[in-house]
Chains A and B, each alone.
Chain A
Amino acid sequence: MKRFTGFSFSRWWSIVIKEFLQLKRDRITFAMIVAIPVLQLVLFGYVINTDPKNMPTAIISNDSSVMTRTIISAMEQSGYFKFVANLPNEEAGKAALSRGKVLFVVNIPTNFTKRVIRGEYPSILVEADATDPTATAMALAAVMQLPSSVVTRDLTGSLAFLAGKSAPFEVRVHRLYNPEAINQYNIVPGLMGVILTMMMVLMTGLAITRERERGTMENLLAMPVRPLEIMTGKIVPYIAIGLIQATIILLVALLLFRLPFFGNILLLYFVVLLFVAANLTVGIMLSSIAGNQLQAMQLTMFYFLPNILISGFMFPFLGMPKWAQYIGSILPLTYFNRLVRGIFLKGSSFSDLWPNIWPMMVFTAIVMTIAVKFYKKTLD
C-alpha cells in the first residue's frame, strides 16, 4: 500500500484554483486591492512628519586637537548625533551611509586646527543620508551653528584674535540621496511596505477563519489534504495581488509624487516578492491561531501597529531606543523599508541589500513553521 506522505502538487493546485475563483467573485475585496493603496499613499504621503534624535554618526578625523574634540562634543550635545564609529577614509564613510549603518559622516580634514589658526577658513564636511529629510533636517540645522559655538569656547588666550571676526571655519553639508530634502521621497517608498503589510496580512488572516466560519473547514479537513498544501495554496493568489499592488504603488510614486528611481526594477520586484511572502505567512499564521474572523482582524491590527511605529517607517530606525530596535529587527517591514528606500533613492545593488534580504527569508520560514504547527488538523 502506498503511504500517504509527500506534498501533492495536484492537491496544492486544487487549493490555488479554488482561492483564485473565490477571490474573483469577491467584488469588494477586489475593489479594495486597487483603492486602498492609492488612497493611503495619497493621504499619508502628504501628512507624515518627524523629528528624531541620537542618530548614528561616523567620524573621519585626520586631525586630533582640542578644537576638533570640542566640535564633536558640541555635535553630541545637540542631541541629534551619536558617534558610533571612527572611519579611516571617505570610501568607508560612503559605504557606511549606503548600507544604512550611519545617517551622518563627519569629515574633518587633515591639519584642520592648524589651518583655522592660520586663518585659512577650512571646511568640515558633513554628509547626510537625506532619504528621510525630516529626520536629518533638524540635525543639519544644528550642525550649522557649530562654528560660532566653538569660537566662544576655544578661541581664547593667544587665539583670541580669531574670535572677533566671523566664524574661523565653515561646515559644508552634503545631502546624499535626496538632495532637495523632499519628504515624500522618504515616506512614499516606506508606504509601499506599510500598505503591503496591511493588505497581505489582513487578506490571508481571514483565509482560514473564513473556511471555519462558513463550515467548509469540516469538508476540507475530511479530504486528504495536508496543512502545508492548504497554507501555501491559499497564499499564491495573494502573491499575485501583492505584486499588482506594488505595481500600483510604484506607478503612483513615480507619476504622482515624481519620485526618482535609481535602482534596478527587477531587484525591487524580487524584494517585493520576498516581503509579500513574509507577510502572507504572518496572515496565515494569525488565521490558524484565531478562532474566528473578528479575532483574526484584531490580531492583524496587533501586528500592524508595531510595524508602523518601529520599523523605521515613522521614525528613523537608528534613532529609536535599543529595545525598540530589537523588536523592530524582527519585523520584515524594517528590512523592507531599508530595501525599498535603498533601491529607489540610493540605487543599491543586491550585495548592498543582502544584509536586509536574508532576515526576511528567515522570518518567512520560521513563521510558516509556526503556522503549520498551529493549524488544527481536526475539529477538536
Chain B
Amino acid sequence: MSDDLAINVINLNKFFGPKHVVKDVSLQVKKGEIYGFLGPNGSGKTTTIRMMCGLLTPDSGSGTCLGYDILKESAEIKRHVGYMTQKFSYWDDLTIRENLDFVARMYSMLGRSQIINETLETLGLSDRANQLTGSLSGGWKQRLALAASMLHKPDLLLLDEPTAGVDPSARRDFWEELHRLAAKGISVLVSTHYMDEAERCHKVAYIAYGKLLAQGAADEVIASQGLSTFILKGTNLSKAMERIESAPGVQQTVLFGTMMHVSGLDKDLLRQSLQAAASEYGLEVEEADTGLEDIFIHLMKQADSN
C-alpha cells in the first residue's frame, strides 16, 4: 500500500520556540498525483514542505518521501526530489546559464550543456542565457526556478507557491506542464493561494494555524463540510449585506460585485432566511454549488473561532 505513495507523513509536529507551527499533520500523496496544499499565510505550509525534504527536522512524527525516511535518509530524498522555494533562491550574481550549470553539476548530470540548452529553449531564455539572474523580472525568476528544480528529473516535486507573481497565461502553461509530468508518473505537492489552481489538483489539503483541516479530492472536501450555498443577485446587495449576515442559518457571505455567495450548514433555514431578505430588497435567490473557496473560508472561520 505504501509502495504507491510518494509522500506518506504521519503526525508531523514542529515548534519554533514556544510556537506550535505544525500540529499533527498527516499527509498521503499518491504517485503521479498533483496534490494542492492550501492555507492562509503563516499556516505552516512552508514548514511542512521543508520537513518533507529534510530541510527541517520535525519535533515529532515520522514519514517517508519516495520511500525514504524523512528523518534518516534526507540525503537520498534530496537527490530524487525537486524543491522550489517560496522565495527565489538561485544566485542573482550568476547568469541564467551559470545557475542551471551549477544545478546540473550538483546532481552530477551527464550531457550537461545539451540539457541546459534544451531547458533554456523551453523556457524561452536562450538569448538571455548570459544575463545576470538578478536582472530578471519576478515572473521570469519564478519560471527559471521551476525549470532549475526540475532539471535533474526528480520523481517528486515540492513546489512552494510556484506561481506567485506569474501572469495568467504563464500560469496556464505551468499547470499544463504539471499535468504532463503527472501523466509520466511524477508526483507533485504544490502550495498555492489560487482557487482555480486548487481545482486543477487531483487532491487538496487545507491547513490553517498549523492544523490540517480537510483533505481529499475537491468534491470530497466540499461534500465533507455539508455546506450549502446560495447565490444572491441584484443591485442592492451592499445594502442588504448587513441584514443577510445576521440572518438565521447564515454562516458566511462572500461578495463578488453584483453577486453574493451565502453559505450555511442548515440548507432549509438558509433558504428561508434568504428568500425573506430577497423579497425585502428585491434580489434573486439561486441555489448554487458550493465551491472550494466557500469551503476554505468556512474552514478558516471555524479554525478562527477555536
Contact = CB atoms under 8 A, between A and B. Distances in A.
A13 B50 contact: no
Given A4-B76, A223-B78, A216 B91 contact: yes
A221 B106 CA distance: 11
Nearest to A216: B89
Given A18-B98, A221-B55, A379-B56, A215 B89 contact: yes
Interface string A22-59: 10011000000000000000000000000000000000
B53 interface: yes
A225 interface: yes
A218 interface: yes
Nearest to B77: A224
Interface in A204-230: 214-219, 221-225
B102 A218 contact: no
A380 B89 CA distance: 18
B105 A222 contact: no
A22 B91 contact: yes
Contacts, number: 76
B158 to A, nearest CB: 9
B105 A378 contact: no
Nearest to B90: A219
A217 to B, nearest CB: 8
Given A223-B78, A224-B79, A224-B107, A380 B85 contact: no
Interface residues of A, number: 28
A158 interface: no
B108 A18 contact: no
A12 to B, nearest CB: 9
B288 interface: no
Interface string A356-374: 0000000000000000000
A16 to B, nearest CB: 10
B57 A378 contact: yes
Majority SS of interface residues in chain A?
helix
B210 interface: no
B85 A225 contact: no
A11 B106 contact: yes
B76 to A, nearest CB: 6
B79 A4 contact: yes
Contacts of B223: none
A18 B99 CA distance: 8
A134 to B, nearest CB: 46
Given A22-B94, A26-B93, A218 B85 contact: yes
B22 to A, nearest CB: 13
A13 B104 CA distance: 11
Contacts of A21: 93-94, 98
Contacts of B102: 14, 17-18
B39 interface: no
A380 B106 contact: no
Contacts of A11: 105-106, 108
A50 B226 CA distance: 87
B63 interface: no
Residue picked from B76, B92, B105, B107, most chain A C-beta under 10 Å: B105
Given A8-B108, A11-B105, A225-B106, A378 B89 contact: no
Contacts of B106: 10-11, 14, 223-225
A378 B56 contact: yes
Contacts of A378: 54-57
Interface string A291-321: 0000000000000000000000000000000
A10 B89 contact: no
28 contacts: A4-B75, A4-B76, A10-B105, A10-B106, A10-B108, A14-B102, A18-B102, A21-B94, A21-B98, A22-B93, A26-B93, A216-B90, A216-B91, A218-B55, A219-B85, A219-B89, A221-B55, A223-B78, A223-B107, A224-B75, A224-B79, A224-B107, A225-B106, A377-B74, A378-B54, A378-B56, A378-B57, A379-B56
Interface of A: 1, 4, 8, 10-11, 13-14, 17-18, 21-22, 25-26, 214-219, 221-225, 377-380
**Smallest CB-CB A-B distances: 10 pairs:** A14-B105, A219-B89, A10-B108, A224-B78, A222-B83, A4-B75, A224-B79, A223-B106, A25-B93, A215-B87
Given A4-B75, A14-B102, A17-B98, 12 more contacts: A1-B76, A4-B79, A17-B101, A21-B93, A26-B93, A214-B92, A216-B89, A219-B90, A221-B55, A222-B78, A223-B78, A225-B106
